[in-house]
Structure formats: structure tokens, C-alpha cells
A and B are shown apart, each in its own frame.
Chain A
Amino acid sequence: MQDASVARVRAITHRYGKVSALDDITLDLPAGKMLGLIGPDGVGKSTLLGLLAGVRKIQTGEVTVLSGDMTERRHREAVFARIAYMPQGLGKNLYQELSVFENLDFFGRLFGHGSAERHRRIHRLTRATGLDPFLDRPAGKLSGGMKQKLGLCCALIHDPDFLILDEPTTGVDPLSRAQFWDMIDDIRVGRPGMSVLVSTAYMEEADRFDWLVAMDDGRVLTSGTPSGMRRQTGKDTLEEAYVSLLPQSKQRQTAPVEMAPLEGVDTGAPVIVAKGLTKRFGDFTAVNDVNFEIRRGEIFGFLGSNGCGKTTTMKMLTGLLPASEGEAWLFGKKADAHNIETRRRVGFMSQNFSLYGELTVRQNLDLHARLFHMPSKTIGSRITELLDDFDLGAHADAFAGELPLGLRQRLSLGCAIIHHPDMLILDEPTSGVDPVARDEFWDLLAGLSRDDGVTIFISTHFMNEGMRCDRISLMHAGEVLVYGTPENLASEGGSASLNETFIRYITEAMDEPDTVPEKLTSIAPAPPRRQRSAGMTRLLAVSRREMLEVMRDPIRLAFAFLGSMFLMLMFAYGISMDVTGLKFAAFDQDRTPESRAYLANFSGSTYFDEVPEVASDAELQRRMVAGEIMLAIEIPAGFGRAVTTGQSTSVAAWIDGALPARASTIEGYVQGAHAAFLTTRATAAGLAGMTQPIVNIEPRYRYNPSFESLPAMAPSVPAILLMLFPAILMAVSISREREIGTITNFYVTPTSKLEFLLGKQLPYIGIGFVNWLVLTGMAVFLFGVPLKGSVLALALGAVAYVAASTGFGLIVAVFLRSQVAAVFATAVLAMMPTVQFSGLIQPVSTLEGAGRIMGQMWPTNYFMQMSIGAFNKGLGFAQLAPNILLLAIFAPVFVTVAILFMKKQEA
């Protein structure tokens, strides 16, 4: 195979449902170069990168990466050790709760580096990126720029030959962005053989790449060097060059609207006023002493990187977030979350375009119009108008969640202005949107501001957008650094651009000594140590990471343990076999000493609570229907005489049969009381021999002589809890990785499905086992139910059982994508067999039909038998062993099913 190209793509077409993302692409990517993939959002850049990285499954066509066919599993597995992939989104592949060191350490372990080797690599990478002072900080608490640096370090830890970065600098402040590219350059000096493929929407960044691929609409427009591309199109900048490559219909038909100067300076009281706004979260100050005044019709820009406090400030303006200090006024009124009137005059567009993805474009617009109480007659025409204005007509019935980012942004703005607001608050409305769409978006804003006098408060991290505002403020780390018109700021202090001014201010604002990062020149070519079992190392790496993550969420852990202890208490004391406090009424038509003696057997019983007597049949019926009595004893007239003369008579016991179990218990009590009466009568009359029972039936309750509920419940309840809790925790843990995106690390590393699933499962088996210890401890020490049988056997059974329940969680998570569905399905599917059909209330052997089969196919049954056997019956190892073996079958079967249906690639 030729080594001139790192990857070759032949006739690749990729579709998501009906939408085509890539359309017959053929490309050769030269090796050892810095390659750029440029084009707006939604043209298929990420899909192409995903295919090259092996994250996505190839539908049609051929992809050859590092001289091998990516459709072949064997090659993919081999090549994952040489590819590094960093997905789109700030810190998307990072574990937010884990520290910088732990993140890097995890990736090191995945690639089988020994301890010394990992430390060496981590220190070299973090020193080169300036992350070394923050080794202990959780990734989630890093700034956007630092997250991306960490993401890069994680990608570089195994010295990849092919580094794939998907929009690594989107949403990162200019300074960090510049540092990021310098870092990449340094790394390439040290490893000239490495190919780097980057996608970006910032055209000015693409200028420093060696070779570019320009894409639009799932096709390649052209490829070549940046200078070649400019030459080819005869344009000065790459951005212009790109736009001129677009088909005619997509190029801007009109020149950008010139922003008319704001007329009539100071047209009255300022519309938005902020005075000393400050917000602290604990000891972290998110926003510090922010002041501004915005006049009617003004476009006020709030510039700064992600996480610098822009969103927090906006939330304080809207009243959603109460300010720690300072005040904000909108339309001369203090910002107040409860002021409905103000809200009607404001349109809001939040960072992630909070649209309902599962509604169509039209439905989203309609919902907003309805909630703003527009007259229904005007809604239809207003929606049509907006669909036209925003060019959304063709997508009116598409689901918002399936639209490309640029269209979603327009829809979001449409929703924000549908009710003709006087003020717009826009939080990063253009992040991740392509240049053409951004320009058009600003034209819309200009029109709203100048023609309709709408006041616009907008935040952005694009410096060139700042130039189109009337005034801007630069924000960094919660502080407003400077505040003025963009023109003044751009030329201030001899800067050539706003970008430069900003970088200068940030550099000044950083009080830390500006540590010059060490150059990352030579990366030691440590030969990949062939470990005895690389698979085991990866499995344990996954387990270790999962364990760390669980430990970082003490609330979840506490819920799991305290929750099961609470339920254990609740059930052990709550479910009992003896029924007391049954409401009983006498219906005495006889009223003789004999009848009273008969009734005394009931009223004197602890089982019954006597309620006022019943006087008639009708009353008996009525009160029983009302649930006032559960038992009525009807004694016929003449009972006393009959008893004394030995004539036969009969007593009727009316029992409320609505609850069969309770009715059966009552029947038993009644028979007992009746027998007691007869015995007393007989003894009193000296007729002992006569009426003595023919046979003495002696019930002997084995294993629980007094038939108490505590000894019965204490061993069974853990069986229920250890099924439900571990299964749900497991299912959520897997589907959460999928929702957050960290599952990509599984896709692009040599981790196998077995290693990933077992690795994730191990910590939960451990947690489940500890939980069993806790519950068993409660049973023995708190409830005083001795564990008479083999502790070892029961412990082994518990391990096998928890492995089975977590295995069930794995299956559910593999089949269902979202966390909601996983929780829902685990609860719905596991609850019935666990609680109803595993012998808690009724022995499985006495069940019928599907319920019986379900009970026999469900592990809870076997563990409950074991637990009862060990606790109550005192069974030894030999007697418990068959159940351990049965239980041990479940987990491998469950995990195998999960592995068979799990996919190691996305569609």
C-alpha cells in the first residue's frame, strides 16, 4: 500500500433515515500533513470524520485508513491504537467529575501503559499544555479552552499516527484558541509523521493548515492548499473563497446590510440597566460587579468565551436567577421572575436553542404564539410570515430536532420574535452556525433594531460579530474588562482588531504568572509493551473509572445504600402475616348470657376491635359495604336456650371477602374462637369427655415457630432490593454515557464490548455486594434474625445474584437509547417478576401460568430461596450449592445477550 495518503475514501454515501449527510464522496488525504475540513454546520464534516475514525458504521463505499479497510473489524481493532479522535463539543469525551489527572490516567490505562509510563506521559503532556497546575481539578470545572487542551492530551496519550479533531476550537476564547493551534504545531514538530485532520467553521484558522477540503451539502467542493484555493477563486480571504465556491443559489444575493447609525441618541430612559450585578455560587464568583445601561433600539454585544459569566448575567437580567448583589431593571422595572407583564415584552433565545426537538417547526412557532396569547386569528398569518422571512417554509413540517444547526437557530429566533417583543435577549445565538447563516442572521437583527426599534442584548464569542453591535463589553472570568463602541475598542492601544484587543485584555487580566508552556518536542517512542493481558488491563481501567465516577456522586451512593436500608425497614416491619385490629360487630338477636359468652371470645381477642352492635340485616349489609365492619357474628334468637338444652343451633359469621387473604385469616380466627367457646362450654358443663375434639390437630411452624413476620421478611427483602437497585443503577450508567457522549471513547479505543460492559458492571457488582452485607447486617443485628446456615454459600449466591441483576440492567441499556427509557423499562419490566412472582408473598411453586414461568426464569426466586434457606432453615453449603449454580447461569447469559446486541459503532 502506498504511504502517501493517510486515508482514502471511495464513493462514500451516508444517510440518516431520509436525510443524506454524505453524497458520493471520494477523497485522498495526504499523510504527514495538517489537514483541514472546512464548511458550515450540517454539511457532513462530522459524519466524514466519524467514518474515518471508525465511530460510525460505513453504509456504502470504501474507507481506507492507515492502509487498511475500515469495514473490517480486525483492521479497525488494530488501527484504534494508532488513531485518536476528539469529538465535537467542549469536553465531550471527558469525564466531567474526574480530575484532569484521572482523565488522562484512564486513557493511559486503556492503552496499557504501566504506572511509571503513565506518569511520565501525563506530566510531559500537561507541562506542554500548561495544565500541570490543575491536575486535581475536575474536568467539568475547567474553562472551555482548558477542556479542549485536556481533550487533546487525552487523544495524544498513546502517540497516535492519525489525529482527528472535530471542531476543537468552537466556543473557545481567542487566546485559548491561539494557544491550542500553537500546541498542535509544536506537537507536529516533534512527530512529523503524524497526520492531523481538523474540521472547523472558523475560516481564518484554516489558513494555517497545509491542505484543505471544502465541503458543502454532503459533497466536496474542492481540495488543495489554502493559497491554492484562494488563487483558484481569485479571492483575498479563505472565507470569501469558500463562499464563491458555493453554488450560485447559496451565495448571498445581497451585500450585508449596512448598519444604520442609531438615531436620536438618548431617546429616553435606558431600557436595560444593570448596577453592580454579582452572582456567587458558594465561594465561586461567576459574575462580579457588572454594570451597563442599554438604550431603546440599541444592539448591545456581550463578548467573551464560554463559561465567563455571560449566561449567568443574562439569567439575572431575566430574573430567573436572583442576583447575589446588585440590581437589574428592565423597562424601568426591577427584574423579577414573577413579573408576567415584562416577560410578554421580551423575546428570549437561549444558548442551546431551547426548542422542542420532537415538535415540528410549525408546531414550535404555534406553541410560542399560543403561550404569548396572540389572538388566534393572527397566528396563522404570523407563522406564514415568519416562515417566509426566515426561509423555513420548506421545513415547516420537519421536526426541529432534526434540523441543521443554522435552521434551528433561525427557528429559535422566529420563536423569540413571534409576538413582536420590544426587547430581545439572545444568548450565543450564533455559536456553531456557519458564516453565511451568521451574516444573514445579523441582517435580521439589524432590521429588528433599526426598523422596529427592538432593543437587542446579545452575547457571542465571535469577535467579528462584535463589530456589528452598537456597543460591546468584553467579559472574562466573571468580570467586564472593558466597555465601549466596537470601533474604539478595536483600535484601542494600537490593536489591529477586536480580537487582538481582547487577547491583550485577557492576558492582562490573568494574574497568574504567564507560564510559558514547555515545548513538547520529542515524544519518546516507547515501544508498546505487550502486556500479558491487554484486555484485562482495559477492563480494569473501565472499572476503575466507573468506580471513581460513582464515588464523585455521593448523593447517588447514599440513595442506593440508605434507600435500600429504609426500604428494608419498611418491609420488614410493614409486611406481616398476623392481622390485628379487625373491626368486628355483634349482631345478637338472642341477648342471653350464652350469647354474650360466645361474643366475648371475639371482643376479648386481640385480633378484633369491637365496634357498635348491628341491629338488623339491612344495617349489617350497609355497614359492611361501607367498610365499617369486616366481621359480624350473627347469633339467632333462641341460641342460649339451644346451647343449654343441647339442641342444635347455628351461628353465622359474615366476613368481608373483598380482600381474600384477610378473609381467610378472619375465617381462621373465627373458627378458633368458636372452638374455644365450645371447649369452655363443655368444661363448664362437666361434659368434657363429650365435646372434646375427636382429634387434636397440632400445627408446628417449622423454621419460625411463632410464625412471626420479621424472620420471614428479613431474608426475603434483600432479594428484592438487590434486584431493583443494581439493575437500575447499571442501566442508567450505560445510557448516561450514551447521552453525554463519553461512549465515543469506547468506540474509538481498542476496548472490546466485553471489556466495556464487564468493566462497567464490576463496580456495581461490588456496590451490590456491599449492599447485601449491609442488609444482612441489619437482619442479624437489628432484627435479631440469626443467620444459621452457610454464610460463605450465601455470600457467593449474593455475588452471582447481583451479577445477574446488573446483567439485566445491561440488557435494558443496550436496547434503549435514552436514560428515561432505560429507567422506565427497568422499573416496569423488573418490578413484577421480582415483587409478585419470586415467592415474597406466594411461593413460586403455587403460581399459575405465565406468572409461574416468569418466576422460574427470574433470578430473584432462586436467591430468595437461598436466603430463606440460609437464614431460617440453617442450610449448609451443600444444600445451597445447587441454587448458587443456578444463579451463576443468569449473569453470563444476560451479559452475552447484551454483547450480542451492543454496537461498537454508531449508525
Chain B
Amino acid sequence: MRCIANIFWLMVKEFRTLWREAILLLLVIYSFGPGLYIESSGAGDMLNKASVTFVDEDQSALSRALRTALLMPRYLPPLEAGADQIDRMMDWGETIFVVVIPAGFEADVRAGRTPSLQLNIDATKTTAAAVGTGYLTATFNEEISRFAAGQNIVMASPVDLVLRRSFNPAGNETWLSSISGLLNSLSMLTIVLTGAAIIREREHGTIEHLLLMPVTAIEIGFAKIFANGLVIFIAFLFSLFIVVQGALNVPFAGSEGLFLAGTAVYLFAAASIGVLLGVMARTMAQFALLLMLVIMPIMILSGGMTPVESQPAWLQPITWLLPSRHFMEFATAITYRGADFAIVWPEFLWTFLLGAGFLVISLILFRRSVI
């Protein structure tokens, strides 16, 4: 009871302090509002406005058909170039893909001689290269099959493959990037706010003063976690309903309530990391560097930017220690797959346990650091 009262009054103090830090609140609003919108809407699709250049030495109906099959907005209107130009174009990054159609291509197709179609890919364009290769191959195959069928060259393949994407049939990248954007803002803002709140108290000597009152370090820690977590949570609510569901039109398969509950658990974990960093750093400069060290893996290795499955086997157990990875798992499960509590509870639990672990470590370090 006494403990709860202490936490409550310390939280009131935190809110009053935050209210006076207009610039921090403005940054919170920016991150969850316009920042998130720009980040998510900017992503577009996995392949968007890709530049494709054709070296068309065939100049046949088929080669033209291949070119016109590439449509906006996935591809920019295809360019044409001579064979001698492609090295330069790729070096200068003017095009991501170069399709080389050899002379006599259409004739070879008609004759069933299985000609080759060369697809040059700028491998430095990572995702676009990987995804685009698949799309281009599929589009070309389809176009050629249609042509061949029209010419009665071959029968359609006896076994048809039907691809069915669940949950996000169109592969709309905005859906995922809005969730990972939410996660990035949640992580960064919560960690910075709580960590900075601790460093500021230490710099002003008030944390020492608090410890001379009948208040325990645990209560101070919890007050910071709850107060800053609550502020971020409110911003998150606004962001989820107004920006993600409203402005970005991201559909929601599962229960919003469950997602919010999970977010609350995640906020606890992120705030605990903030407390830990605030306790570990002696100065603001050190805190800033520690923050970078922690926040970048949290953001990049959460599974929001690249799939967790793409991490090497040795790294996966390490990223398992990142609460953000668990957030990403349950967030995608709830929002897209419509998972219920029975499915996501282990992720909730792990997020909570990780947060508790960070908090325990910071409490152990706490007294040492104050003095």
C-alpha cells in the first residue's frame, strides 16, 4: 500500500516534469504522427518504380510483348539500350535490371529451341534485386507461355501451381512497415525518455535526495517505467487508431485490445532497458552512445526490417534476447493473422520476463551508480 502510494506520487512528479519538457513531447508526437506516416507510406511495395533496361537485339513481337508487360507502379517505363552501354549504366546505378533478348529469340521460341533470356541484376540493390528477380522471371514466363500457347507451340504445363498468400494477399509493404515503425518509435522513445529521466535526476542530485526519503530504488524505478510508459502508450493509442488504421488504412485482423495489452508489456520491457542504460551511463554522452548500441539492434534485428529467419543460426538465439523480436512476433500474429491470446501468450510472457530481467540488473547496479 505504502509502496503503491510512493509510486503513485513519484509518477505524478514525472508527469509534471515531462509536461515542462515541451521539446521532448513534440518529438514524441512527431515520431508517432508524421514520422510514422512518412516511414510507412514511403516504403510502398517491395518492388516499386524499378528501372529495367532492355537490350533488344530481336526486335520481335515477343520481345515487345515482354517489354510492355512491365507495368507501373512496380516498374518504371522500361528503357532501351545497346549492349555496349549496359556496363556503364549499371556502374552508374541508372538501372537495376538489364534484360538481354538475343537476336532470333522469337524464332527460337517458335521452333521450340529453348533460347536463353539473360537477366542482369544489380545485386547491390539488395531487396529490390532479390524480389525483382522473382517478379521479372514470373512475368516473363507468363508472357512467353501466353505467346507459346497462342502459337500452339506447347501445351500448358499439366501441373498448375496456385500461390495463395494469406493475411496480406497483395503483399502490401505498408502494413508491415507501419507495425515495425510503431515498434521503432516505441522502443526508441521509451528507452530515451526513461533513461534520460534517470540521468537528469542524477545530474540534478535529486535521485540521491529521493533515496534519503523513505522511498526505495524499486519504487523510483517503477515510477519512471510506469510514468514514461504511460505517456508513450497514449501516443501509441493515437498513432494506432489515427495514423495506422485511419490514415494508412491498415486492416486489423485480430483484437485491438490484445494488441494493446501486448504493447503495454513491451513498454515495460523497453522502459526497463531505458532504466538499465540510465543507470549504466555516467554522462549524457555515454548514454547517447549506449543508446545507439542498443537501439540499432533492437530496430534492425527485430524481424521488422528483414525476416528473423534470414539471420544466421548463431545470431538467432542472441536476438531472441531482444524484446522487440517478441513484439514483432505477436504484433504480426495479432494484427495480420488474427491470433488470439492462446497463441501469443508465450511471446507476452517472454517479453515480460526479459523486461523483468533488465529491471533486476538495473536495480542491482542502481545503488552503486548513484553515489
Contacts and interface: CB of A to CB of B under 8 A. Distances in A.
A893 interface: no
B153 A350 contact: no
B258 interface: no
Given A320-B211, A346-B212, A626-B343, A702 B90 contact: yes
Interface string A653-683: 1111111111111011011001001100000
Interface stretch (B133-141, B235-243, B263-271, B353-361): B133-141
B332 A659 contact: yes
B336 interface: yes
Interface string A818-849: 01110111111001100111011111011111
Contacts, number: 455
B123 A692 contact: no
A697 B141 contact: yes
A574 B23 contact: no
B289 A556 contact: yes
B161 interface: yes
A320 B141 CA distance: 75
Tell me which of B12, B163, B184, B303 has the highest count of chain A C-beta atoms within 10 A of its own C-beta.
Answer: B163
Interface in A707-741: 707, 709, 711-712, 715, 720, 724-725, 728-729, 732-733, 736
Interface in A861-907: 865, 868-869, 872-873, 875, 879
Interface in B156-211: 156-169, 171-173, 175-176, 184, 188-189, 192, 196, 199-200, 204-206, 208-211
B137 A699 contact: yes
A304 to B, nearest CB: 20
Nearest to B163: A653
Interface string A614-634: 000000000011110010000
A668 B292 contact: no
Nearest to A848: B44
B200 A820 contact: yes
Interface stretch (A130-138, A355-363, A434-442): A355-363
B64 interface: no
B114 A732 contact: no
Interface residues of A, number: 149
Contact of B293 (A559, A663, A820): A559
B175 A712 contact: no
A348 B212 contact: yes
B196 A823 contact: yes
A845 B161 CA distance: 33
B16 A659 contact: no
A692 B111 CA distance: 13
B297 A570 contact: yes
A767 interface: no
A868 B123 CA distance: 10
Contact of A625 (B5, B306, B343): B343
Contact of B336 (A647, A658, A836): A658
Contacts of A348: 209, 212-213
A553 interface: yes
Interface in B115-168: 115-131, 133-135, 137-138, 140-141, 144-145, 148, 153-154, 156-168
Contacts of B133: 668, 699
A698 B119 contact: yes
A689 B145 CA distance: 16
24 contacts: A318-B212, A343-B214, A355-B206, A356-B16, A370-B9, A577-B306, A579-B310, A660-B176, A664-B46, A671-B138, A678-B157, A692-B112, A698-B117, A699-B119, A824-B23, A825-B23, A828-B30, A828-B31, A828-B192, A832-B39, A841-B127, A848-B41, A851-B39, A873-B91
8 A-B pairs closest in CB distance: A851-B42, A657-B165, A704-B123, A354-B209, A650-B160, A819-B284, A370-B9, A668-B134
Given A659-B303, A821-B24, 11 more contacts: A359-B16, A371-B210, A559-B286, A579-B310, A649-B160, A667-B163, A702-B122, A712-B124, A732-B284, A831-B295, A836-B42
Interface of B: 2, 5-6, 9-10, 12-13, 16-17, 20-21, 23-24, 27, 30-31, 35, 37-39, 41-51, 90-93, 96, 109, 112, 114-131, 133-135, 137-138, 140-141, 144-145, 148, 153-154, 156-169, 171-173, 175-176, 184, 188-189, 192, 196, 199-200, 204-206, 208-216, 282-293, 295-297, 299-301, 303, 305-307, 309-313, 315, 319, 329, 332-333, 336-339, 343, 367, 370-371
